[in-house]
Structures are given as structure tokens and as C-alpha cells.
Amino acid sequence: MQTDCCIVGGGPAGVILSLLLARQGIDVTLLEKQRDFDRDFRGDTLHPPTLELLDHLGLATELLQHPHSKLDHLSLQTPGQTIEIVNFRTLKTQFPFVVMIPQATVLDFLIQKAQAYPNFHLELGANVQELIQLDGQVQGVKYRQAGEMHEITALLTVAADGRFSQLRQLLGLQPIASSPPMDVLWFRVPRLVGDETIGVEIRTGGGKMLVVLERLDHWQLGLTIPKGSYQALRHQGITAVHEVVTQLAPELGGERLKDLQHWSDIAFLSVESNYLKQWSVPGLVLIGDAAHVMSPVAGVGINYAIQDAMACAKYLTQPLKSGQITTQDLAAIQKQRFLPVRLIQTLQAVIQKQIISPALQPGQSVTPPLLLKLPLVKQLLAQVLSYGLWPVQLEN
């Protein structure tokens, strides 16, 4: 099989890039290892620039007809006070909010749009095994599907296959890692008629931290724990999780926890943050989590991955049409995206150090910096979390 662009990984970055290139008449093949896109507790926050992109494509209105919720602020609750720390309402955009919508819904919707183009091809259950290389140039991949090996050659190969990127491993590229101080346990409890609307709150107290996310029909809770403490918590039993919910979100405890009885009801996220110094080799570029894993702080991972995909479309559409891609073309993507990625990772590290680490220490109180109470600072945080240093602008 032969294609212009082979994209490995059917997450938000890979699917968006597939759609953007297919719209330009470029032959695109998307390889996804799983048989569908339905994975629980995957990032599902769409920030303003992503919504603006979808609007640019004429898709925002239709996507937002699917069930979703909107968040226009982020609050931090400590014993004795609740303060708003991020305010999206003042952003100068037609989408001054964050949309929370299941990632599977978004991916299925975008795949359907991409399949309207005959030059888009989707291969599910395609597990990449090897790179095809000649004279130091990546020319495609070999993948296993339904027990059989297949080859696909391509002018460009894109690694959009996530934090455990197989292509990155095959290239022997090692990310530079930081050490976030926490891991997160995600689970849900029912939302009842009459529940207060809160958007997103971070609740702290007694050396514990709980993220409370408002959904349409349930509450998604994120129990933040010190890095490496998961097994010790499991040894205490599932009631230890119940106790934290009862302590920090008593209105969500009691009978609502009756279905949270097994550790299989909880998704464990080992929090990481890392980045590659080198995002490309001849014939291949890495984007999204394959190039830089984000902490879940502020839920920006999807949006920064999509910005990477937009940069790929911006800089590689014409080279793909001409049939020749230079190392300079590939390097242009990292040149635009590297500083915004490092800025947001640095900001996440500051938040982790100033707020999360103290919150996870028994006996320590969380004292939010006074600057967070200033309206201008809350607006600036919303701007940086959403747009970074500079958003990628598509030309057509």
C-alpha cells in the first residue's frame, strides 16, 4: 500500500491532522491500534482555540449539538475559602469557555467528516511493528492487523501515537522527563436533579486533594495522591477513597458511593511530563504526546496536541502536494511549537509546586498566591492556558 501521509495514532492530533490534509486533496492513511475510539477517562476538554478551529472548518455548531457541558472558570477550595483562579469568560473569542465532551464522541464525529473524502483511509486494529527506512529516511511502516503483516509506504510518516509512542521507541528517541509530585485516580459518582452547578473545583484539606468536574449526568472526580503511593492506598481498601470524598465533597458522598466498591471502577493515571529535544527525523515527525507528555493540570493536553496537528498541516501541506519534504519543513513544526509547549509545562510545574505539593502534605495548608485574586491575573492565566505563547493560524 502507498499513501502520501501515513499517520500513526487515532487520537485528537492524528484525527484532526487526517481531516485537515484530506480536505486539501492529500492521500492520507490513519492507522489506529485499537478497534474503536472509546477509551474511558481520556482527556475531553476542548479549549477556545480548538473550538475556533472547528468553527473555521464549519464543524463547531454541529459538534456542539452533541451532549456536552461548558466551563467558564476554575476554582480552588481550601479550608475556609473558595477562590476563582482562572476566568475564561473575558477571553476575546466567540467561545469564552471550555467544552467538556467525551473524546470518543469528538473522534467519531471527526472521522465521519474525514471519511467524506475518498483520499482518506482508516485502518483500525493496525499495530505498527517496524519502520521502513532507506538511506536514513523513514519511508513508511510495517504493521500487524488481524494477525497478518502489512506494509505502507509514505512520503511522510507522522507519529501521533501517544505517551507510549511505538514509533518513538523504534527511533530510539528518549524524552527528557520531569517528576510531577502526584498521580490521579479518576472515577465517577451520579449527578442528581438539584445538584449545584460548580463547573470545576479543586478541593483541598487534611493532606488530600480532590478535583470535582461537573458533567451532564455524573460528577467526575479525580483523587490526587502523592507519586508512588497508589499501592499503599489500595492496601487500605476502597473505603479510603470513600473517606476522602466524604471529607472534601460531602454532598457527593453517602449513597452516591454505593457503586464505587471495586478498584476496577477507578482509572489510575500515572502523571508524567516530558518532552523530546528532537521532534523529527527525515521522513517522520512526532506530535502530541509522542513529542511531549503533559501533566493533566488544567486539561490542556488535547489542545496542545491539536495545535501541533495544525502546525503540521500549515507547514507540510504544500510540500506533500509537491512530493518533496525537506528536513527544514519538518523542523518548522518544532520551531513554532517547542516554546509554547515548554511554557505550559513550566507553568504546570509551578502550579504543582505551589499548590498541589503543599496540598498533599498532611499538616500543611495551601495558601494561594495573592496574585491569583487579581482579575487581570485570572484573565492572563486563561489566555496562557488556552492559547499559549501564540496559537497556530491556518491559512485556509
Domain boundaries, the chain: 2-178+272-387, 182-269
Residues 162/166/169/170 CA torsion (nearest 10 deg):
-140
Average pLDDT, rounded, for the chain: 92
**Are the C-beta atoms of 31 and 8 separated by less than 8 Å?**
yes
Residue type, 198: I
At the top level of CATH, the class of 2-178+272-387 is alpha beta
What's the whole-number mean pLDDT along residues 224-242? Answer: 95
* Nearest residue to 37 (alpha-carbon basis) of 122, 130, 157: 122
* Nearest residue to 126 (alpha-carbon basis) of 152, 145, 140: 145
Region of residue 228 (left: phi > 0; alpha: psi -120 to 50; beta: else): left
Convert the pLDDT of each residue in 144-197 to its tens digit: 999 999 999 999 999 999 999 999 999 999 999 987 779 999 999 999 988 888
Report the interhelical angle of 48-56 vs 301-322 (nearest 10°). 40
* Nearest residue to 159 (alpha-carbon basis) of 249, 338, 285, 43: 285
Convert the pLDDT of each residue in 113-136 to its tens digit: 999 999 999 999 999 999 999 999
State which H helix or E strand residue 324 sits in: none
pLDDT of res. 365: 72
Query: How long, in residues, is the chain?
Result: 396
pLDDT of res. 141: 98
Quickly count: other Cβ atoms within 10 Å of residue 333's Cβ.
26
Convert the pLDDT of each residue in 337-380 to its tens digit: 999 999 999 989 988 888 888 889 887 777 777 777 788 888 88
